[in-house]
Structure 1
C-alpha cells in the first residue's frame, strides 16, 4: 500500500462516504469526499487523486455519465472503481468500455475494498510513472561500482534519502545523474510513488508551460508533468535549459507547494520531492543573470556531484560486467567476457562521453563480436584509435585543437568539448543526426551545445566556426 495515497470517494449516501473514509484512513490513505458529480469535479480540480471510488447512482448526474465525461475530456484522472448497489450487466459493460478499473458492490466488503484499492493504486502508479517520460535506454536504478568515489556517494545518498529536501545533482553529461536521482527516490518514503522526468531541453518552448503545469478549462483538466509527480519525485533533467518564465513559475511552485494550471484560477496542491540535475555551472549562470537566484537556492538545499568516469577507474570492470549482462538479457545477445588486458586498457581511457560512452561501447562489442572474450584489437577499433593514445592527442592528430591544460577547469572543459564535437562531426560527415547517435545526446541538447560552443553544423565539421 502506498502510504499517503489520495483516494476520492464519490457517493451521495453520507453513511457510506464516512464508513469508507474511516476504513481507508485507518490504512494510511488520505481521503477526499464528494457527495455529487459537481463536488467530484471540484475535488479533482483541486488535487489529482490516485484512485477514485465512484458510485453509479447519484441524483444530479450518475456515475457512468461522469465516467464518460472524464474519459472523453482528456482521459481518466486515475484508476476509477465503480460502486454499485444494483448494477446491471449492461451498466458493467458500459463502465468497462469507458475505462473503469473494477467494481465493488454494496454492502461494501472491507477485505475487497482494501484489495481492489491496493491493486488499482499499483496499476495507477505504473501508468503515471511512464506518463511524459522520454523514450530512452533505461538507466540502472542502482549506482554500479565499488570504488572510493561511489562508496562516498552512496553514503551521502543513504544519509539524505529519508529527507524531503531539494537536491541538486551536478556532473558532466553522461555521468549518470538520473541514476543517482532514482537511487534517492528508491530509498525514500516516496519509493511507491511516481518518478517523473522533465527533460527541459526536449520540450518545445511554445508548449513547455502546458507540459509542465497542465491546463484547465470548461471542458476539463489536463495534468502537467509537475502534478503527475504528486506523491513521488520530480526529476528536472538539465534544469539550466528552462527559460526565465518557467524558472519563475517553478520557483513559485516549490515555494508555495501549489500550482495554477494554464487557464486556471485556483491553486492545486503539489506534494513531490524535487531533484534537479545539471552539467552547467549554475552559480556562474546566476551571476550572469541567466538563472534565477531564488530557484538556484531552492534546488541546492543539498548538492551532490556525480564524478566523471575517468575518475572511477576502479569501477570499470564492474561496469563492463553490468552492461554486458544487461544487454545480453535485454537484447538476447551472447554474453562476452572482458579479459584483464581489455579492462586495464579501458581503466586508463579518458571516457569523454562518460557512462553513456561505456554503455554504447559494450553494446557495440556484443553486437559485432562473436568470440566469448572481447579482444584488445576490437576495443581499439571501437574506440577509433589504432594505439592507446589519449583522447586529446588523438584529436590533435586529426587536426582539431589540442586542449590547453594551463587553462582554468571551466575553459579547458569547453575547449575539450569543442574539440571533441568537431572531431565527431568530421567523423559523421557533417550529419547532426549521426553525430547525435555517436555522442549519445538528444538532438535538442546537441543543437544547444553546438550553439554554445560556436559550432555551425551547416558548414560541416571542417568549416565549423
Structure 2
C-alpha cells in the first residue's frame, strides 16, 4: 500500500507545521489547510485517508465542514476533530455527525498518534464497497501445470505495480486471476473495482469513470473509487474512443477533472485489464488507441480456455457443487467417474462459466445422490439448443458492436419511415436533434442522401 495521506486543518500555522513534522516523521504524507476554503479544495483534490480538523476557524467552523463531508451518516475517511475550547456537548455533536474521535488541545502527542493509528485501521473496513460479485472466486481452481504456472506468474507480478493485461476467451477466469493478483499485492487492503467496460454507454462513460460535481455535491467516479487499490477494466477493447482518450490522459498524469469540476483530482491506483480481442489488430484497424495499448500492456498474461487444462474439470465440479450446496442450500449430488470423464472430454465453448452453470442447473433440476450421464447430455443439449434459437445476427457480437449495429439499423429504419427528415425523426424517437446529428454522423448514416 502507498503512504496514507493526512489532511491537517487548523487556522494556527504553528500547529499545522508542528503536526506536519510529527506525522511526516511517522511516515505519512501530510497536507495542511489554514481555513475552510483550503480544506474544501484539498478534500476534493487530495482525497485524504484521514483528516485532523479544528473546530474553530475564522471562515467556517469544523463541524459545518464535517457535515458537508458526511454522506448518509458516514464520512469517506475518518475525521478527528480538535479544539482548545471544547465541551462535552461539542464532542458528542461531532461524533453524532460522523467524526471518528475528538481531541482536546493542547494535544498529547502519544494520544494523537494512537488515535491516528486507530482511525487508519478503521478505514480498512470503511472503504467504498468493492463491487464484488457474490459468485466471484478469488482463488483460481486447478492443479494442472498450466494453472499452477499462471498462478505463480500472477503472484510474482503482484509484488510490483506493473499494469497487467489478461488475454483469453470469455468465461475462462480472467477476472478471477485479476482478483488473485490484487489479493497478493501490496495494495490488498485497498478496494478492487471491477468494471464491465462494454456495459457503460458512451454518453455516460465520462461521469462513470471520472465522476462529476453538481450543485456542491460530488459523485465519485470509478477511478476515485479505486484510489489506493486496483481498477479492473474487463473487456477493455469495448471502450469507446472518447473514453480511451480521457483514460490515456488520466493514467499518464495520475490526475483528472471531474465532469463539471475545475480542480485536478489525484489518484493512485493499479490498473488491470482483460480482453478477448487481439488488441494489436484493433490498434491497426484504428479501433483502439496505440498509446493506451502500450500504457495498459506492460505485461500480458494469457488465460487458457478450459479445454486446454481439462484435467482440472473434476476439481472444478467439486468446487462448484460445494459452493452451491453451502451458499444456496441445494441438495448435494455426486459426479461419478464416468460423468467426470465425459465432461473432461467436452469442448466447453463457454469455459469455466459454462461448467458452473451446468452444475447449478443439475443441482436445481436433478434428483438423486448421483448425477446421471444421460441427464448431463440432456442438459448440455438443452443449453446448446437454447443458445442456438434464431436471433438477430448481432446477438453474437460483443456488446459495443451489437449496440452500434442495432442503433444503425433502428435509425435507418425510422429515417426511411420519415422520408429522411431529421426533425421528424428527432421527434419520433425522442432524441434531441443535436445529439441525433452526432449519432447519425458517428454511425456513418448519410441522412442527407435520403431527402
What secondary structure does 2:180 align onto?
A: helix
The answer for the alignment partner of 1:47 in structure 2 is 46
Whether contact under 8 Å (1:172, 1:279) holds in the other structure is: yes
Q: 2:256 is matched with which residue?
A: 259
Cα distance in structure 2, aligned partners of 1:121 and 1:294: 36
Match of 1:206 among 200, 203, 206: 203
CA positional deviation for 1:303 = 0.6
C-alpha separation between the residues in 1 aligned to 2:204 and 2:74?
Answer: 19
1:424 deviation in Å? 0.9
- Given candidates 113, 121, 124, the residue that maps to 1:122 is 124
Moved more, 265-274 or 161-170: 265-274
Correspondence 1:273-422 to 2 at 5 A: 273-384=270-381
1:57 aligns with 2:56: yes
Q: Which runs of 5+ in 1 are unaligned?
A: 386-390, 399-422, 458-465
Identify the residue that residue 9 of structure 2 maps to in structure 1: 10
* TM-aligned CA distance change 1:452 to 1:145, over 3 Å: farther
Give yes or no for contact 2:199–2:399 (8 Å, CA) kept in 1. no
> Does the Cα contact within 8 Å between 1:9 and 1:33 map onto a contact in 2?
yes
Secondary structure (helix, strand or coil) at the match of 1:31 reads: strand
Shift of 1:248: 0.8
Q: Would you say how many aligned residue pairs link Structure 1 and Structure 2?
A: 405
Residues 17-36 of structure 1 mapped to structure 2, 5 A cutoff: 17-36=16-35
CA-to-partner distance for each residue in 1:203-228, whole Å, 9 max, x for gaps?
23222101101223662543211122
Listed as ranges, the gaps of 5+ residues in structure 2 are 411-451
Report Cα offsets for 1:53-98 as digits up to 9, x if no partner.
Answer: 2222223211111122234799844333333445445434543453
Residue 32 of structure 1 aligns to a residue whose secondary structure is strand
- Tell me whether 1:424 sits opposite 2:387 in the alignment: yes
TM-score, structure 1 as length reference: 0.78
Tell me the CA shift for residue 148 of structure 1.
1.4
Match of 1:192 in 2: 189
- After TM superposition, give the deviation of residue 182 of structure 1 in Å: 1.1
SS in 2 for 1:312: helix
Give every structure 1 segment of 4 or more consecutive aligned residues whose post-TM-superposition deviation is greater than 6 Å: 72-75, 450-454
Residue 177 of structure 1 deviates from its aligned partner by: 0.9
The within-5 A match list for 1:159-178 is 159-178=156-175
Root mean square deviation of aligned Cα: 3.2
Paired residues of 1:169 and 1:304 also in contact (CA < 8 A): yes
Correspondence 1:268 to 2:231: no
> Residues of 2 paired with 1:328 and 1:101: CA distance?
41
Contact 1:174 1:355 (C-alpha < 8 Å) held by counterparts: yes
**1:250 partnered with 2:247:** yes
Give how far 1:299 is off.
0.9
Range that drifts further, 261-270 or 43-52: 261-270
1:188-242 per-position Cα deviation (integer Å, ceiling 9, x unaligned):
2111111112221122322210110122366254321112212111111111121
Distance 1:19 1:329 in 2: 54
TM-score by length of 2: 0.80
In 2, the alpha carbon distance for the partners of 1:277 and 1:150 equals: 17
Structure 1 stretch displaced more, 259-268 or 95-104? 95-104
How much does 1:356 deviate? Answer: 1.2
The answer to whether the 8 A contact 2:103-2:112 is kept is no
Distance 1:352 1:110, change over 3 A: same
Q: Secondary structure at the match of 1:212?
A: helix
Deviations 1:7-56 (A, max 9, x none): 22223344544454445444433222222211111212322112222222
